[in-house]
Amino acid sequence: MFDLADAGELGFDADRLARIAPFLSDAYIANGRLPNAQLVVARDGRPVHYTSLGKMGDDGRELRDDALFRIASMTKPVASVAFMQLVEQCKVALEEPVTRVFPEFADLSLYAGGGGSIPFAPGTPAPPMRFVDLLTHMSGLTYGLQNRTNIDAVYRENNFDFARNHLDSDAYIEKLAQLPLEFAPGQGWNYSVSTDVLGIAVERISGMRLGDYFEQHIFGPLGMKDTRFGVAEGQADRLVDAYAYRPGKPPKMIDAGATSKLNRPGTFDSGGGGLVGSIADYHRFATMLLNGGELDGTRILSPKTVRLMRTNHLPGGADLTEMSSSLFSEANNAGTGFGLGFAMVIDPAKTLMPSSLGEFYWGGAYSTAFFVDPVERITMVFMTQVYPSSTYPIRRQLKTLIYSALTQSHA
């Protein structure tokens, strides 16, 4: 699958890296907590460790090296890269109001009460939302899955979180624009559908459907041949089954790969969570980010743009403990900032995990994850398929195992 480099030459203890596979097997696979697991660890883009364990799903087939996974919110960094490509071409600017592309958002208001069986109370007009607010999740939008407020409940009623088969992008924006914001744009942080809106902005600015834009400007140039919205015709046997966590019981299969709706075209390309892809493809994407926007001679973004994206944009250098109102996100809060599409470590000590200052990362709702450490030049991509991602502490455990195997540090 991966041509592994000599771990010792790249500053790793091979015996310590070898702890990873038995740990995953004993702690998660053998007892059924996870149906499968794939992990690739690399330094300078060169893989030093690869693990593949478990089954494709309930049919008992061994996990394929080229298995396809629902990467969910790991779509968000891809959509953010796409938008920043348009910024580099001066087709749009971060500080511009989103009404330039979304006139439907001209009359947004702030939440003032109501919801459910009671109509929303008239709220004060919201200050202009900017594109940077979408990238940083400081837009005032939300997710139905947050399950905190009456606004979240209306998002669930409209199924904004999973719009693939029941809305097109214009209908999505039209319905979303009718709801109040949770807070004034730029004044708080809430994990939300912001990146879905950002993906629709890419569509309107480029004149292309989002999946076509990704293929032409990101996936094709990077050689990511297996990543797309949905599953290519004839490839259903490569899609793993998806599972949902059940306390005290093995996860329950909720979407069989062979019969998934992902095998049929959707009406909406979700920039916030719709991609299906392989571990090899996302390793290429992560390596491009590590290299400051370039892979194998193909440049996707400039180094300065990538640096801007992986810099904390929370006001006053705050971390998410100070800004977040989310019950759920793919980030830890302590010592964690947020940039243009990624969370990043701004205080390693506060995270209580081995990490580097400036390390950036994200994950997906089915427990997938990746990180890029620009100090140690390390990348990791982890694939599995159990919802939700907050179920197990596996991301912390993997980071601990990887950094404990590092013998030559650049820090």
Beta strands in 155-247 (DSSP E): 228-229, 242-246
Residue 104 has pLDDT above 90, yes or no: yes
pLDDT at 87: 99
pLDDT score at 281: 98
Would you state the pLDDT for residue 216?
98
Distance in angstroms (rounded) separating the CA atoms of residues 56 and 157? 32
Give the tokens for residue 402. 């990887």
pLDDT at 38: 98
Confidence (pTM) = 0.98
Instruction: Dump pLDDT digits (tens) for 272-311.
Output: 999 999 999 999 999 999 999 999 999 999 999 999 999 9
| pLDDT score for 117 | 72
Residue 96 predicted with pLDDT over 80: yes
Higher pLDDT, 14 or 327: 14
DSSP code of residue 258:
G
How many Å is the maximal CA-CA distance in the chain?
Answer: 65
Q: Compute how many other C-beta atoms are within 10 angstroms of the C-beta atom of residue 15.
A: 9
Query: Residue 202 has which token pair?
Result: 């890419």
The amino acid that residue 82 corresponds to is A
Domains in the chain: boundaries: 8-75+226-404, 81-206
pLDDT for 122: 83
User: Residue 118: is its pLDDT beyond 80?
Assistant: no
Q: What is the pLDDT of residues 337-365, one digit of tens each?
A: 999 999 999 999 999 999 999 999 999 99
Residue % of the chain over a pLDDT of 70: 100
Distance CA 321, CA 302 (A): 31
pLDDT at res. 411:
78
Angle between helix 169-176 and 194-206 (nearest 10): 130
β-pair partners for 51: 39
What is the pLDDT, as a whole number, of residue 116?
A: 74
Each as own residue / partner, the long-range contacts of residues 98-103 (CB below 8 Å, 24 or more positions apart, any chain) are 98/128, 98/129, 98/130, 98/131, 98/133, 98/134, 98/197, 98/201, 99/128, 99/129, 101/201, 101/204, 101/205, 102/173, 102/177, 102/197, 102/200, 102/201, 102/204
| CATH topology match: 8-75+226-404 vs 81-206 | yes
Query: Where is average pLDDT lowest: 19-23, 44-48, 110-114, 130-134?
Result: 110-114
The CA distances from residue 180 to 39, 90, 116, 126, 152, in Å, are: 41, 30, 13, 9, 11
Q: Are 205 and 91 in contact (CB under 8 A)?
A: yes
pLDDT at 114: 85
pLDDT tens, position by position, 366-400: 999 999 999 999 999 999 999 999 999 999 999 99
227 pLDDT tier (thresholds 50, 70, 90): very high
Tell me the percentage of the chain whose pLDDT exceeds 90.
Answer: 95
Each residue's pLDDT tens digit, 172-220: 999 999 999 999 999 999 999 999 999 999 999 999 999 999 999 999 9
Task: Flag whether pLDDT at 3 surpasses 80.
Answer: yes
CATH of domain 8-75+226-404: 3.40.710.10
Q: What is the pLDDT of residue 142?
A: 97
- Alpha-carbon distance 337 to 317, whole Å? 8
What is the pLDDT at residue 207? 98
CA gyration radius for the chain?
Answer: 20
9 falls in which pLDDT band (50, 70, 90)?
very high
pLDDT in tens, 251-267: 999 999 999 999 999 99
Domain 81-206, CATH number (from 3.40.710.10, 3.30.420.40, 2.60.40.2240, 1.10.260.40): 3.40.710.10
| CA end-to-end span of the chain | 31
- Across the range 160-180, mean pLDDT stands at 94
Q: What is the mean pLDDT of the chain?
A: 97
| Residue 115 confidence (pLDDT) above 90 | no
Those residues with Cβ within 8 angstroms of residue 259's Cβ, 6 or more apart along the chain or in another chain: none
